[in-house]
Amino acid sequence: MQNIFITLLHISMRNSSTILTILFFLSSLNFVHAQLMDGSNGTFTHADSLRGGLRVERTCYDVTFYNLNITLDIPNKSISGYNQIYFNTRKDFITMQIDLFENMVIDKILYKGTTLKYTRDANAVFVQMTDTIRKFNSDMIEVHYHGNPIVAKRAPWDGGFVFTKDNEDKDWVGVACEGTGASLWWPCKDHLSDEPDSMEVTCNYPKDLFFVGNGQMVRNTTSTTTNLRTTSWKSSYPINNYNVTLNIGNYKHFSDIYTSKKLGKNLALDYYVMPYNYDKAVKQFKQVKPMMAIYEKYLGPYPFWNDGYALVETPYLGMEHQGAIAYGNNYKTGYAGSDYSRIGLDFDYIIIHETGHEWWGNSISCKDIADMWIHESFCTYSEALYVEGMYGKKKAQEYINAKKETIDNKAPIQGKYGVNNEGDGDMYNKGMLFLNTLRTVVNNDSLWFATLYKMLNTDYYHKNADYNDVVRYFEQTTRKFVNPLFEQYIQKTNIPLLVYKIEDKNKFMKTIYYKWKVDVLNFQMRFYFQYNGKKDDAIATNEWRSYDIRVKNIKKFVVDQNRMYIDVQELK
In terms of Cβ atoms closer than 10 Å to its own Cβ (0-12, 13-18, 19+), residue 347 is buried
Cβ(470)–Cβ(456) under 8 Å? no
Please report, in angstroms and rounded to a whole number, the separation of the first and last CA atoms in the chain.
Answer: 43
> What secondary structure letter does DSSP report for 27?
T
Res 184: pLDDT: 98
Lowest mean pLDDT among 19-33, 130-144, 238-252, 426-440: 19-33
What is the C-alpha separation between 529 and 549, in angstroms, rounded?
Answer: 12
Question: What residues contact 83, with CB distance under 8 A and at least 6 apart?
Answer: 66, 67, 68, 69, 142, 143, 145, 186, 187, 188
From 240, 178, 242, 165, select the one nearest 209 (Cα to Cα). Answer: 165
| 38-70 pLDDT, tens digit each | 444 578 999 999 999 999 999 999 999 999 999
Give the pLDDT confidence of 435-494 residue by residue, as tens digits: 999 999 999 999 999 999 999 999 999 999 999 999 999 999 999 999 999 999 999 999
Distances (CA, A) of 293 to 63, 117, 136, 400, 545: 34, 52, 43, 21, 45
3-state secondary structure 165-185: ECCCCCEEEEEECCCCCHHHC
User: Percent of the chain beyond pLDDT 70?
Assistant: 93
- pLDDT value for 226: 87
In eight-state DSSP terms, residue 369 is G
Predicted confidence at residue 38, as pLDDT, reads: 41
Q: Please determine, for residue 12, whether its predicted confidence score (pLDDT) is greater than 50.
A: no
How far apart, in whole angstroms, are the C-alpha atoms of residue 420 and residue 569? 38
* Per-residue DSSP letter, 518: -
Query: Nearest CA to 265 among 275, 256, 257?
Result: 257
pLDDT tens digits for range 361-418:
999 999 999 999 999 999 999 999 999 999 999 999 999 999 999 999 999 999 999 9
Average pLDDT over residues 182-192: 98
Interval 408-431 mean pLDDT: 97
Q: Kindly tell me if the per-residue pLDDT of 152 is higher than 60.
A: yes
Enumerate residues 6+ apart whose C-beta is below 8 A from 16.
none
pLDDT at 73 over 60: yes
In degrees and rounded to multiples of 5, residue 566 shows phi and psi of -140, 160
Q: Give the number of residues written for the chain.
A: 572
Judged against a pLDDT cut of 70, whether residue 153 lies above it is answered with: yes
49 neighbors 419 (Cβ within 8 angstroms): yes
Structure-model confidence comparison of residues 36 and 176, the more confident one: 176
Task: Pick the closest to residue 161 from 83, 104, 216 (CA basis).
Answer: 104
What average pLDDT does this structure show over 540-566?
93
Which string of DSSP letters, residue by residue, matches 215-261? SEEEEEEE-TTT-EEEEEEEE-S---GGG---EEE--EEEEEEEE-T
Residues 200, 66: contact at Cβ < 8 Å?
A: yes
Reply yes or no on whether the pLDDT at 26 is more than 60.
Answer: no
* Cis amide leading into 206 (omega within 30): no
Q: What is the mean pLDDT of the chain?
A: 93
Report CA 363 to chain centroid distance, whole Å. Answer: 11
Strand order in the sheet with 509-517: 545-549, 509-517, 497-506, 567-570
What distance lies between CA 331 and its chain's CA centroid? 22
Query: Which whole number is the average pLDDT over 11-15?
Result: 39
Q: What is the dihedral of CA 107, 113, 114, 115, to 10 degrees?
A: 0
Residue 213: name the closest of 16, 356, 68, 92 by CA.
68
Residue 10 pLDDT > 90:
no
Write down the pLDDT at residue 41.
55
Q: Domains in the chain, please, with CATH?
A: 33-250 (2.60.40.1730), 273-493 (1.10.390.10), 497-570 (2.60.40)
What does the alpha-carbon distance between residue 468 and residue 443 come to, in Å, rounded to a whole number? 23
Question: How would you classify residue 406: left for phi > 0, otherwise alpha for psi between -120 and 50, otherwise beta?
Answer: alpha
Give the pLDDT confidence score for residue 224 in this predicted structure: 85
* CA–CA distances in Å: residue 316 to residues 91, 226, 303, 406: 42, 30, 25, 23
pTM, two decimals, is 0.93
- DSSP structural state of residue 97: E
- Say if CB 557 and CB 501 are below 8 A apart: no
Distance CA 300, CA 454 (A): 9
Average pLDDT over residues 276-303: 98
Q: Cα–Cα distance between 546 and 552 in angstroms, integer? A: 17
Q: What is the pLDDT of residue 29?
A: 34
Q: For 313-344, how does the pLDDT look when each residue is reduced to its tens digit (9 = 90+)?
A: 999 999 999 999 999 999 999 999 999 999 99
**Structural element, H or E, at residue 82:** strand 78-89
